[in-house]
A = this chain, B = another copy of it.
Amino acid sequence: MAATPTEPAGSAPRTASDAVVAHLETLILDGTYQAGDSLPSETELAAELQVSRLTVREGVRSLAARGLVEVSHGRRPVVAAPNATLLRDFFSSSVRRDAAGLLELLDVRLAIEVHAAELAARHATQAQLDSLEAALQAMADAPDDDAFTAADMRFHHGITEASGNRMIRLLVEGMAEPLEVGRRQSLRGYLQGAPDLDGLIAEHRAVFDRIAARDASGAARAMRKHLGTTRRDLLRAFSR
């Protein structure tokens, strides 16, 4: 009674719902179902795989938790495009479970973004450079702290975009929220005098200049310096 016709050679699923997961996962990763495609309905899958709807539901639910599909009430499950929600979940969980994880995560971001800046200097298109400069300008013109932070994030996001490496983009995107939350929490009630916005902007501009000049190692150096500053600020806030 082989429930799943497409049994993967690797390992036999222990439970029926694992079989559902394995089945659908294979079809998605094979490209049989592309991002945006609708999966068969629960009823259809149940009939096809010879299991109850409940079992199908659990399997689909697992895939949804892993970010491979999206389910919404009244509609069929839809295959999701690769996205950062899973990574965001993971990083958020790690940081919340252990406060020291925040600094570790910051360190990882440093490593990745320094490399991203290097790649951006090599691969950025003119449109991407324009977008970076616009973010820089928005930082300078920011009326309040929230606007500044938003422009700041847009700048960093733009660099990962310009790196041309989607995995880097997803990773940094996944880290952004936990880091931002951590930053807010550690700075709460801190705010002794305004932060050195002009200095921050200058650091960003230095990164941009090196990227625009196609100077890979210079861009890496500038980014390293900038993130070092960020890290020091956070450490100082922590030690209070």
Interface residues of A (CB under 8 A from B): 14-15, 17, 25, 28-29, 31, 54, 57-58, 61-68, 73, 82, 86-87, 89-90, 93-94, 96-98, 101, 104-105, 107-108, 110-112, 114-116, 119, 165-168, 170-171
Closest CB in chain B relative to A59 CB, distance in Å: 9
Whether A166 lies near B104 (C-beta < 8 A) is yes
Given A66-B65, A101-B166, A171 contacting B93 (CB threshold 8 A): no
Q: Are A29 and B111 in contact (CB under 8 A)?
A: no
Question: A112 vs B93: C-alpha distance in the bound complex, in angstroms?
Answer: 21
User: Shortest CB–CB separation between residue A57 and chain B, in angstroms?
Assistant: 7
A93 to chain B, nearest CB (A): 6
* A165 close to B108 (CB less than 8 A): yes
Whether B165 lies near A104 (C-beta < 8 A) is yes
A87 to chain B, nearest CB (A): 7
Judge whether A93 and B68 touch: CB under 8 Å.
Answer: yes
Q: Could you tell me the distance in whole angstroms from the C-beta of A88 to the nearest C-beta in chain B?
A: 11
Known: A58-B57, A62-B61, A167-B94. A115 touches B104 (CB 8 A): no
The answer for the CA separation of A107 and B171 in the assembled complex, in Å, is: 12
C-alpha gap A97/B63 in the complex (Å): 15
The 25 sampled A-B contact pairs (Cβ below 8 Å) are A14-B73, A15-B73, A29-B93, A29-B97, A58-B61, A61-B62, A61-B65, A66-B89, A66-B93, A67-B90, A68-B93, A82-B93, A82-B97, A90-B90, A94-B167, A104-B167, A104-B168, A107-B119, A107-B165, A108-B115, A108-B165, A108-B167, A108-B171, A111-B112, A112-B112
